[in-house]
Amino acid sequence: MKRAVNDTGRCVACGVCALQCPRGAINIYRGCFADVNTSMCVGCGICEKACPTGSITVRETEDTGI
């Protein structure tokens, strides 16, 4: 399964990814960084393309079955 992953060290919490996410799977955590809700993320890659800092990447993740 593909999921978005955020490098919080590079994230500037601009919110562009959260605005672009069609599933509402991304929120800005305490004004510090984008937090991806992996249970809501479908790995579409829209956030990755929208991120101006390149901190979000869509990666293959292990399916935990949850």
Question: CATH assignment of 2-60?
Answer: 3.30.70.3270
> Does residue 65 have a pLDDT over 90?
no
**Predicted local distance difference test score (pLDDT) of residue 33:** 97
Cα pseudo-dihedral 32, 28, 45, 21, rounded to 10 = -160
Using a 10 angstrom Cβ sphere, with 0-12 exposed, 13-18 middle and 19 or more buried, the burial of residue 44 is middle
Structure pTM? 0.87
Q: State pLDDT tens for residues 2-61.
A: 999 999 999 999 999 999 999 999 999 999 999 999 999 999 999 999 999 999 999 998
